[in-house]
Structure formats: structure tokens, C-alpha cells
Structure 1
Amino acid sequence: MQKFHLPDKTRFVLFLTFCILSGVHAQDVLPLKEAVSLAIDNYGSIKAKNAYYQASGTLEKEARRTYLPDITVGARNDYGTVNGLYGPSFGFGGSGLASSGPVYEEENWDAAFGSLYFASFNWEVFAFGKARQRTRTAEAATDRDSKDWQQEIFQHKIKVAATYLQVVAAHQLVLSYRKNLERAETFRNIVIARTRSGLIAGVDSLQANAEYSNARITLTKAIDNEQEQSNNLSRLMGVLPDEFIPDTLFISRIPMTLDRESRATAAHPVLQWYESRVNYSDTRTKFLKASFLPSVNLVGVIQTRGSGFFHNYTPDNEAFTGNYWDGIEPKRANYLLGIGINWNITEPFRGSQRVKAQKYLSRGLRDEYEQARQQIEAQLKYSEQKIRNSLDNYKEAPVQVNAAREAYHRQTVLYENGLTDLNTVTQALYALVRAETDRDIAYNNVWQALLLKAAATGDFGLFEDQL
């Protein structure tokens, strides 16, 4: 059977087409909202703090149930002797034995079955606010961990958005430097052609080759920076690094609303977390003080016993039975009700130092809150200044690009006609590259400034609503 062979050139074209199509498929557009959503769902610290919050909520439910009394029920069957002996005893390390019976001159080994059935409860009916403060402390802990989870989500949104904008800027710079490489290659070809025709000196072609190599190196560095920023974004999203194309929204327009009124900084998720830490510390201080007070307990016990030893076992040593059912049958019952108050009068002297230490912790937490508030207010003022400056640069960037492009075009025409030297053209090219770079990041800087304001106000919607 004859095999069919494609020509080498055809196979190369097919292979190249497959690689291009595969690359296009791999590089999907990733919207910022999707990146933020993936980050919230996958990032480890957010999931961990959500688990801590769930644990605190569970402990809060446990604290509420401390109001319930301790109720114990039990049943026990035994088999053994009932030799008694007058004398003191102390149960230590499980050595206690609760045998009771008549005291005889000599030991005997009469044995029978016995049983004990009981139910008891111990209810702290009044504790001068200790149970209530225990519940409030658990509630404060839940609120603290909830606020910690929320501020972690907020801060991570800011990190993801900032890194995304870095990817946008890096991607746009790659496109600009690729265009610069094309210009450098076109100009190099012109210089080489003129050199070969003897119209200009050969040194110009060497300089053109050097500029072309510099453009290639600059493009490679830009690609490396884009890959680094993409890797950082993948790490923040909690996914494996992959190539993707950022949304062109951030290079096509600036935010529609930049003068939106900011919320009060007191509603900032980070400040709310700091405040919840202070509240928890203050609540715990009250709980420690409440532990100094006494508690009133209501107790009750009901029990019944059975024994294989009959009531006339003394003096009749034969009055017992080894039958199991006769031994475990309840024969005597007792009950007990009681109320008592317990107060460790030395606890206030020991616990006062714990209260004092907790007050110092509260003071330190308040200082941290105040420091965070000052930093956020300073960041908010800076963000307003940055928005104004970025808007000025955004308006000026097109003017710079148009002027630099026209200057480069004129210098190129002059060089082709032998009216200027290569150094002048190179300087014009540098000015054009710088202008295009400034233009590329001008849009991005406006979005970065808005994101900074969103971070300072604690309102991510200030940024997200513009998408």
C-alpha cells in the first residue's frame, strides 16, 4: 500500500497554523470582575478566615447553651463483697471502694450483686451576670472574626485589581515595544539599502543594527515583565499560571465618574475590623470582672439501689443471694434537693491583674485603630491629588504623541534625503517611544488613582461600578 506524503513546505505551514490557533485559544480575555470572583473563591487566606469566622459562630452557640443545667443519668451493676472496717480513708488515683456492710470480727467472702440507678442535675441559676458576659464575649469574638474575614476580602479585591492593572499596563507596553521593533526594523532596512548603494557611510548601518538589537532587548524585557505580572495575578486568584489577555476597557477610556462622593472612613472594612478587636477586648474585660462574683446553684439527686444482701444479713450471715436479677432489682430510693452559693473570695485579688492586663491590651488596640484611621485619611487625600494629576497627564499625553510622531516622521524624511544625521533620527525615535509609553500608562494611571481612592474609602464599588 502506497503511503501519502505531504510536501515539507505544506507540513510546515500546517504546523505553524496549528500553533497560532492553539496560542489564540490559550490566550482568552479575562475580565477584571471574573478575576476578582476567582480570587475570592480560591485564595487560601480568605477561605481560612471564613473558617475561623464559622468556628467563632459555633462557639457563640455553645456559650448560649451554658444556661442549660448539667443533667446526669446513670446505671451501674456490681458484684462483690461487703466487708466493713472502721477507719479513715481517702480515695486517690482510683483506689476508692464504695463497699458498705456490717463490721465483723473476721473477714468473709460472701458476695452478691448490687445496683445503683440515679439522676442528678446542677443548675447555676444565678451568677450575677457571668453567663451573660460569657455570651457577649463570644458574640464579640464572632463579630471580630466576621469583620476580619470581610476586610480580608476587601483588601484582596484591591490587590487583585491593582495587579490586574499592572498586567494591562505591561501588556500594552509589549504592544508598543513590538511596534517600536517594527519601526526599528523598517528603518534599519532603509539604512542598509542606502549604505549598500553608497549614499551614506557604513557606520550608519552598524548604528541601525545596534538600535534594532536594543529594540529587541527592550521588547523581551517587556514580555518578561508581562509574564511576571500575569504570574502574580494567577497567584492572587489561586489558580495555576496561564496566559490570558486583559480587558481593553482600561486602555480605551477612563472612568466615567471620578468625583463620586466618598463614604465616611468609619465604615471602612479595615477600620471596622480594628474596632471589633477593641470591642472584643473591652467585652472580655467585663467578663473577667464578672468572674469575681459568686454563683448560686440549684442541685437535685434521685437514686435507687438494689442489693443481693438482705436486711437481716446482720446477724444472719446466710441472708444473701447470688442471683443476678434479685441483686439488681431496686429496693431503696433516696432523693435530695439543695441550693447553695459559692464564692471564691480570693479570686478578685488574683484576677485583678488579668483585668489590668486586658485593659492594657484594649489601650494598645485603640492606638492601632487610631494609627490605621490616620493612614487611611492620608491615603484618601493623596488619592484625590493623584486623580487630578493623572487626569492632567491623560489630557496631555495625546499632544506629546502627535508631536513626537510628527517629529520622527520629519527627521526620517530628512535623513532619507541626506539632510540630517542618524543620531538626530535616533533621538526622535526615542522621543516617540517615550511619548507612546506615557500615553499607554496615562489611561492606566487614572484607573490606578481611582482604585487608590476606593481603597482609602473602603468602597470597592467606587471602582467596580465603572467597569
Structure 2
Amino acid sequence: MKTIFRSATCLWLTCLSVTLYAQEPRQHTLGNLWEQVERQYPGIQAQTALVASSASKQQAVKSQALPQFKIQAQNSYGTFEGSNGAFFPQSGFFNVSGNPNLLDGSDQTFNTFGSATVEWEVFAFGKQNQENKAASAQYEQQLAQKEAYILQLKKELAVRHIQNLYATANYDWMSKNADRLKNIELITNGLAVSGLKPAADNLLAHSSYLQAAGQQRYWTGNKQATHIALAELVGEPLDTIDAIHLHNFLTFPLHKTNDATATETFEHPVLTQYKQEASYFEHSSKSMSRAALPSIKVLGGYAIRGTGIQSHTVTDKWKDGFSNAIDNYLVGVGITWNFSSLFTNQYKKQALTKQAESAEKKYSAYEQALQANIAASQVQIKEQTQQLQQTHQAIIHATQAYGMYMARYKSGLITLSELLQIQQLLEQAEKTHIDATQHYWMQVVSEAALTANFDFLFTNL
């Protein structure tokens, strides 16, 4: 009775553990790995910062349409001697001084001056509108650049994950091969001790085993190296790949394929980037053309001034610098036209137009190549799926044949050389299937990068 109870308890615990394991999320799926990369990879954060920078530039360009308001305040101390004559203090201004009246008092005095000016460009033939559109296109271009970077990062993650799975599969393959050769060596040794087989067979079997053990060392290093590369991209330590994930990697294409196809409305981030680049240069060209035309501005100003210079005397006291205050205001409408820009801006416009044309040509070339590459990739995936079906059957048949030939060798019906040849055929069949599996997944990655859709890979790999 106790035995039955124990058996029932063990069976219940086994079923419970299987159920709990089935409910656990797959920690090594590509989708889970991408969540970690997306959350903490510095490259994505750098692209996000560039997008924020572009958004700030866009707002800065739009703010140029607002009135430009300037204010200043001065309090100075110095001499006030003047002389007759005229001069240009700076480009665009000139000053004329007359003979001052003779004044009594100090030779120095305090002065106070404050002013505020406002300048508002109310009409410039649509220049500001084109600048706003150019800034908006540049922002959209930066967004597309971020999406293209993320797409490339997804591809890099998928490639590293597949390389890790591939190295692990080769390590397990070579481990199985080494175990088979070790088993052959033990059998050969027993037959040699019994006098049924020559000692040379034992040496040959041991040599074959040592070669397999050496290859196993190679794949051990490769497995560890690809694991480190994957962990570097993810940004945190990872567990080694378990048998379930490895089995899914090798057998998933045998019973399920990606049937999703790209829609006609699909636009690759790189295409969007070229499109927005062309739009930016186009609007910049129009803005440059309109900048050569005159602009109309509304102007206004207010100034207040005080000085220690009285009607007949001068004082050097600081408080007197605020005396004799006068204030003025000035409003008006002005027109500004730089005639030289009619010629220089024409060449700048031509340069921007050519850059827009170049971006449009790059868009067309990339779009044409993209469609061709997608079609070619889908054809290759279809054929590689058929290849995997055949290589899988080849492994089954080679495994069955190896078991039969092993029995014949034990019975003394065939030689060791013949058995090793069969073992090599089985080894080659397994290796061919692993390589074909890697090529299949790599082609799926290429298609995902071309269609900008990694949903199939993130869900199933």
C-alpha cells in the first residue's frame, strides 16, 4: 500500500513540475533578449538623445518667427570731451560730433542709459514657412535614422544568438561523435584482447577518438566566445543554452515556417530616411530662394537716458548720473533687401537642389534593390526548408545504418575501416543538417531586416 502511495505521489509531483516548467517564460528566446537590449543598450539611448536634439532644433527654428525683443541697461563713468568731425563707429552706423558748450565743474560724470527694442519680421515671401518644413523634415529624418539603427541592432542580436546556437549545436554534435568513437574504441579493445581483432584496430579507433576530442575542444572555445559576444550585447550575464532551445533551433523549420509577406504599404526605415532627406534639401532650397527677396519688419524702440551734465555745470556724483532723464520711443516699418544675395543664394539653391535630387535617386535605387532582395530571400528560404527536410531524413537513415553496421562489426562481418566510414557518413549527415539550419535562420534574419519585421524571429527563436 505504501509503495502504491509513493508511486502516486511521485507521479503527481512529476506532472506538477512539468506543468510549472511549461508555464515558465522562455528566458532565452530572441524576444526576451531584445527586451533586455532595448531597455539598457547605450546605442539606443544615444539615438534617443539625437532625436531629442533634433526636436529642440525644430522648436528653435519655429521660434524665429516670434518678435525679437532686446533690452539693455548701462551705468558708466568717464570724460565727455568732444571734437568736431564725423566717423563710422561700426558698419551701418555713423556719428557726427559738434563743438560742445563750455561747462563748469568736473571733467568726469556718471551716465545712465537703458533701451528696449523689438523687431518682428511680418513678411518674407514664405521663407519662415519653408524653414519650418525643412526643420520638420530633419526631425523626421532623425526618427527614421533611429528606427534604422534599431533595425540593424535587432539583426545584430539575431545573428549573435544564432551563432551561439550554432556553436552549441556543433559542440553537442562533436560530443556525440566523440562518444560514438569512444564506444568503438572500447569495443575494439575488447575484441583485440579476445584475439578476435588485431591490435592495430584499437590504435586506429583511439586515433579517431583523439581527433574528435580535439574538435570538441575547438567547439568548446567557439561556444564560449559566441556566448560572451551575445552577453555583451544584452548587457548582463546569460545562462547557457539548454537542450530545449537547441532542439527548437534544429527542428523548428521542419514543422513551421514564416508565411508572412510584406505588404504594399510597407516602407523601410532607410527609405523613410532618404525620403525625409530629400524633403529637407527641397525645403531648404526654397527657403534659400526666398531669402534673396526683401523682408518687411515692424520695428519699435524705447530709450531712457540720464547724465550728470547740467545746463552750465558738471557733477561727478553717482546719484546725479540719473538726473536730467529723458526718454524717447520710436516705431516704424522697415524693409531689408540684400541685393548681393540674389546671386549668391542662387548658387546655394542649386547646390541644395542637387542634394535633394541625389537623395531621391538613392531612394529609388534602395527601393528597387529592396524588393529584389526580399523576393530572392523568400525563394532561398523556401528551398532551404526543403533541404532541411532532406537532411533530417538523411540523419535518420544514417543512424539506422550505423546501428546495423555496428552489429555486423561486433559479429566480425565487417572491418573497422568499414565501420568508421559509416560513422563518418553519419557525422557528415549531422553536420550538414546543422549547417543547413544555420543558413536557414540566417536567411530568415536577412528577410526580417529587409521587411523590418522581426516578429517571427522574436516569437519562435
8 Å CA contact 2:127–2:286 kept in 1: the answer is no
Q: Name the residue aligned to 2:71.
A: 73
1:137 aligns with 2:134: yes
Q: CA RMSD in A?
A: 2.8
8 Å CA contact 1:81–1:109 kept in 2: the answer is no
1:423 aligns with 2:417: yes
Q: Name the residue aligned to 1:58.
A: 56
1: distance between equivalents of 2:363 and 2:222?
A: 37
Evaluate the alpha carbon distance shift between residue 215 and residue 30 of structure 1 in structure 2; reply closer, same or farther with a 3 A threshold: same
Evaluate the alpha carbon distance shift between residue 111 and residue 402 of structure 1 in structure 2; reply closer, same or farther with a 3 A threshold: closer
Q: Name the residue aligned to 2:159.
A: 162
Equivalences for 1:14-413 in 2 at 5 Å? 30-91=28-89, 102-104=100-102, 109-237=106-234, 239=235, 244-245=240-241, 247-248=245-246, 249-254=248-253, 256=256, 258-264=258-264, 266-310=266-310, 312-313=311-312, 319-329=313-323, 331-413=325-407
Find the residue that maps to 2:444 and give its secondary structure. Answer: helix
8 Å CA contact 1:82–1:102 kept in 2: the answer is no
8 Å CA contact 1:53–1:146 kept in 2: the answer is yes
TM-score by length of 2: 0.85
8 Å CA contact 1:144–1:277 kept in 2: the answer is yes
2: distance between equivalents of 1:98 and 1:422?
A: 115
Give the letter aligned to residue 159 of structure 2: A
2:408 to 406, 410, 414: 414
Find the residue that maps to 1:263 and give its secondary structure. Answer: coil
Instruction: Structure 2 unaligned segments of length 5 or more: list them.
Output: 1-25
Q: Report the CA distance between 1:194 and its aligned residue.
A: 1.5
Q: Report the CA distance between 1:462 and its aligned residue.
A: 4.1
Q: Report the CA distance between 1:243 and its aligned residue.
A: 5.7
Evaluate the alpha carbon distance shift between residue 344 and residue 81 of structure 1 in structure 2; reply closer, same or farther with a 3 A threshold: same
Count how many residue pairs are aligned between Structure 1 and Structure 2: 430
1: distance between equivalents of 2:104 and 2:427?
A: 110
Q: Report the CA distance between 1:351 and its aligned residue.
A: 1.8
2: distance between equivalents of 1:198 and 1:90?
A: 118
Give the letter aligned to residue 125 of structure 1: V
Find the residue that maps to 1:374 and give its secondary structure. Answer: helix
Residue deviations 1:233-260, cap 9 Å, x none?
Answer: 23433x3676632634433533745222
Find the residue that maps to 1:300 and give its secondary structure. Answer: strand
Give the letter aligned to residue 171 of structure 1: T
Instruction: Structure 1 unaligned segments of length 5 or more: list them.
Output: 1-27, 314-318
Evaluate the alpha carbon distance shift between residue 465 and residue 29 of structure 1 in structure 2; reply closer, same or farther with a 3 A threshold: closer
Identity %: 26
Give the letter aligned to residue 269 of structure 1: P
2: distance between equivalents of 1:270 and 1:460?
A: 16
